[in-house]
Amino acid sequence: MTNRIAFQGEPGAYSHEACQDAYPDMEAVPCQSFEDVIGAVRRGDADLAMLPVENSTYGRVADIHRLLPESGLHIVDETFVRVRICLMAMPGVALEDVASVRAHLVLLPQSVNFLKMHGIQGISAADSAGAARELAESRAVHEGVLASSLAAEIYGLNVLASDIEDHGHNTTRFVIMSREPDVSRRGESVMRTTFVFEVRNIPAALYKAMGGFATNGVNMTKLESYMVDGSFTATRFYADIEGHPDDAPVRRALEELAYFTNSLNILGVYPASPRRNL
């Protein structure tokens, strides 16, 4: 065991914050891409991977559903992070001195009202935590960054305004993946099972595949489709359900699903996060 958890982004990214919140005793290891995160765990350089799968404002994280089934890893937990946006600048700089801010493209539209109110120009950056690091290096006095409070702490920047997002519900869901599955846990919380499947090319295949969950009283909380290798005829579905594969209703529903699919891959069985309903 390395006691390390890998995440995508630079130190101070919201994925880094997710690692600290969920696994404070583990060393968080930054990686350049999602593929690098997965590779770090597969090689044994890290024990766990922290991967964002969806955001309450922007929906599914691009490419993640394509990567998870091919990763060779297994979902063992989930966690949620409220995206709280801070405007930060060099120490000694006042808010009225800031003429522009840099941030990842997804953060700028979420703070448009605050930026307009203060006459601040938003400039897109490849990475918000990276923009914070660059500001600390350049020491520019008329520039700011939108990022997490963790980024400000790491790079020695001063937070001039907190929680400046236009909507207070912006939350990212992460899954935690490991080399080995863990289907032994039950606990007190609701169990969740995540899987991907590809329906057979027969009439009403998806309708029939979903019927088993309805007749067995299994709650499906997510169902999303995505293309396979750019083909319009090969469509996969990503699904989350409540329950454990060993539960009789879930077992029957999955058996019925398998009859109408070309492939069925269970990605993980894990307890629902207590933060899910916050």
| Domain match, 242 and 256 both | yes
Separation CA 82–CA 56 (nearest Å): 10
Express each pLDDT in 129-147 by its tens digit: 999 999 999 999 999 999 9
| Domain match, 261 and 246 both | yes
| Domain match, 34 and 142 both | no
| Domain match, 19 and 32 both | yes
| Domain match, 174 and 153 both | no
Structure-block tokens of residue 51: 């991967």
| Domain match, 217 and 258 both | yes
> What three-state secondary structure class fits 251?
helix
Express each pLDDT in 208-259 by its tens digit: 889 999 999 999 999 998 876 666 666 789 999 999 999 999 999 999 999 9
Residue range of the domain that includes 122 = 86-161
> Could you say which of 178, 206, 231 is where a domain stops?
178
| Domain match, 65 and 174 both | yes
CA distances from 237 to 107, 181, 209, 241 (A): 29, 21, 11, 13
CATH classification of the domain holding 128: 3.40.190.10
Residue 107 located in a structural domain: yes
pLDDT-flagged residues of the chain (< 50) = none
Concatenated DSSP letters for 102-150? EEETTTGGGGHHHHHHTT-EEEEES-HHHHHHHHHHH--SSEEEEE-HH
- Is 57 in contact with 170 (CB distance < 8 Å)? yes
Residue 26 located in a structural domain: yes
Query: What's the pLDDT score for residue 229?
Result: 65
Residue 185 located in a structural domain: no
| Domain match, 24 and 146 both | no
| Domain match, 78 and 90 both | no
Residue 204: is it exposed, middle or buried by C-beta count within 10 angstroms (0-12/13-18/19+)?
exposed
Residue 184 located in a structural domain: no
- pTM score over 0.75: yes
| Domain match, 144 and 218 both | no
| Domain match, 255 and 200 both | yes
The total of structural domains in the chain comes to: 3
Residue 186 located in a structural domain: no
Rg over CA atoms, the chain:
21
> Could you say which of 178, 209, 228 is where a domain stops?
178
Q: Point out the residues that are catalytic.
A: 172, 174
| Domain match, 131 and 202 both | no
Residue 51 located in a structural domain: yes
